[in-house]
Amino acid sequence: MSEPIHFGWFVGQGFGVQGWRKDSYSWGHTWYQPDIWEQAARVLEQAGFDLLILKDGPTVSYSERSRDVGLASAEGGPRHDTLFLVPLLLRVTKHLGIVPTLNTTHYDPYIAARQIATLYHQDTPRVGLNVVTSGGGARTSNFALPGRPLDSEETYRRAEEWLRVVRSLWTSWDRDAVIEDELNRVYARADRLHPIDFRGEHFDVAGPGVALPFPDEGPVISAPSNSPRGLRFVGENADLQFGYSRDPDIIQGIREGIDAVRPTNGRDPKRAKIFSNISPKVVGSQEEKQAYLAWRRSDEGLRRDLPLLSVILDVDLTQLDFDAPLPAPYLDAWTANPVSAGVVNAFLSTVDDPRTTPFRELAARSTHGQAGDIVGTAEEIADHIEEWTESSALDGVLFDFNVDPESLFGTLVPLVPVLRRRGLLRTGYASTSLRENLDGF
Ligand SMILES: Cc1cc2nc3c(=O)[nH]c(=O)nc-3n(C[C@H](O)[C@H](O)[C@H](O)COP(=O)(O)O)c2cc1C
């Protein structure tokens, strides 16, 4: 038996269209109503998953360069607010961690602290917060921001301030502030509330907050990133890091990068968990696998799979000549000012020289589609997961899919029994707290 690892589900489309362009789209679910989400949360809990992370982006695609492909494929929108899904999912589960995403560039920290506290108090401590930082392009013009894209350094500085404000507001009421003294008619004591008087580069916030204090450490904070700057941010601020790398050396680098800054923050370095996003395609036989891999490399397969990466990298990759190398200006632009250094590195590092390799080779290896970055039988996929986690500092994997029936059942039904038999996937929960479940092993 293997040691158990953690499993999560990352909804790559967020509270957006689920299963568009898949055969199961016609099964009659309506993505903007609760049913399909509640079904997914229940199934993930039955399967023994630790958490469900809901990706978010509060605007349509970055710019005109990727807007058409983004809307045609529904990868760039429409997208509703993930926070409103959280209470619905808490109602139908007891153990699954529910982690909505907020962007520190777009959201006001005072409002965000109150929103997350409101959700956290609605159930056992299972609500987390996924903190994202993209500051890119046209998106900034929708918000009270300078109207120009923030560069990576500025985005992370803002994120650090943002979280400091949020955490200060969360602790601005002493835990014993609420006394519910019916005799003297005092609900809460004013002398147990503290202004935060925060003055920073991006935010000036007086405080105190207005929500109840937490009875414990508060929400698990997750953050996706792979760049050195991002890892510093994660190490100092988050409990869980995730990204697209699964190479043991890279994971070891991430572990060291996080641990190097963590002790200075007075926290236990072992507590930041590292997850890798995977999109396994489970097949029934070797013939099916070969046929699927060939389809994935075909023009049709690539056009089906590339819209997501097109939206992330803000350029329509589906229109390129797949047999020529990527145009140099794209590579230059991504290198000079990446939308995400982590995504760009993970995408380009799968081949020796992206400047001379036909784009088809690169695209077929991309881990950013939902067409399956590992293809195999359930046993083969379990082998991969076991090997990655045993040979590296990975603590778990995040299945990067939507919650359409094909993704959910097509993946879990064949895979869960195999993962369970090997001891990789938990068979029950020790706690109703996400933090305790994550810290349990
Ligand atoms: C796996 C993964 C998931 C992400 N999810 C989101 C998201 O839901 N919303 C968002 O605005 N940005 C998202 N991002 C972008 C990150 O928050 C960040 O801006 C980006 O990765 C740049 O940081 P880096 O250069 O340190 O990688 C995601 C990035 C990764 C790698």
Q: Tens digits of per-residue pLDDT, 128-172? A: 999 999 765 556 678 877 667 788 888 999 999 999 999 999 999
The beta strand positions in 133-285, using DSSP E, are: 178-181, 186-188, 198-199, 204-205, 221-224, 240-243, 273-278, 280-282
Distance 224 CA to ligand 1 centre (A): 5
Lowest mean pLDDT among 80-84, 148-152, 267-271, 432-436: 267-271
Instruction: Give which of 135, 60, 129, 35 is closest to 340, Cα–Cα.
Output: 135
Residue 428 has a pLDDT of 95
- Which numbered atom of ligand 1 lies nearest the CA of 400? 1
CB 374 within 8 A of CB 367: no
> Which helix (H) or strand (E) element contains residue 363?
helix 359-365
Percent of the chain at pLDDT above 90?
A: 69
Residue 223 has a pLDDT of 97
Probe residue for ligand 1, chosen from 81, 105, 133 as the CB with the greatest number of ligand atoms within 8 Å: 133
Rg (CA), the chain: 22
- Which numbered atom of ligand 1 lies nearest the CA of 136? 19
- Which numbered atom of ligand 1 lies nearest the CA of 130? 8
Look at ligand 1, atom 19, and give the residue with the nearest C-alpha.
Answer: 134
pLDDT at 126 over 90: yes
Question: What is the per-residue pLDDT across 420-439, written as a single tens digit (0 to 9) for each?
Answer: 999 999 999 999 999 999 99
Any ligand 1 atom below 6 A from CB of 107? no
Residue 144 has a pLDDT of 75
Probe residue for ligand 1, chosen from 134, 233, 240, 241 as the CB with the greatest number of ligand atoms within 8 Å: 134
Structure tokens at 344: 């760009």
pLDDT at 370 over 80: no
Mean pLDDT of the chain: 91
Look at ligand 1, atom 5, and give the residue with the nearest C-alpha.
Answer: 55
Could you tell me the residue ranges of all domains in the chain? 6-152+219-280+371-439, 286-365
- Which numbered atom of ligand 1 lies nearest the CA of 152? 25
Alpha-carbon span 441 to 3, nearest angstrom: 9
Alpha-carbon span 274 to 223, nearest angstrom: 10
Residue 337 has a pLDDT of 66
Look at domain 6-152+219-280+371-439 and name its CATH class: alpha beta
Any ligand 1 atom below 6 A from CB of 230? yes
Alpha-carbon span 268 to 283, nearest angstrom: 41
Residue 24 has a pLDDT of 85
Residue 15, CA distances (Å) to 86, 144, 309, 371, 403 in order: 11, 24, 18, 20, 10
- Which numbered atom of ligand 1 lies nearest the CA of 230? 26
- How many CA within 13 A on the CB side of residue 258? 29
Question: What is the per-residue pLDDT across 297-330, written as a single tens digit (0 to 9) for each?
Answer: 999 999 988 998 898 888 899 999 999 999 998 8
Any ligand 1 atom below 6 A from CB of 342? yes
Look at ligand 1, atom 14, and give the residue with the nearest C-alpha.
Answer: 132
Going by DSSP bridges, is the β-strand pair 6-11/51-54 parallel, antiparallel, or unpaired?
Answer: parallel
pLDDT at 359 over 80: yes
Any ligand 1 atom below 6 A from CB of 218? no
Alpha-carbon span 398 to 54, nearest angstrom: 11
Any ligand 1 atom below 6 A from CB of 276? no
**Better pLDDT: 149 or 66:** 66
pLDDT at 343 over 90: no
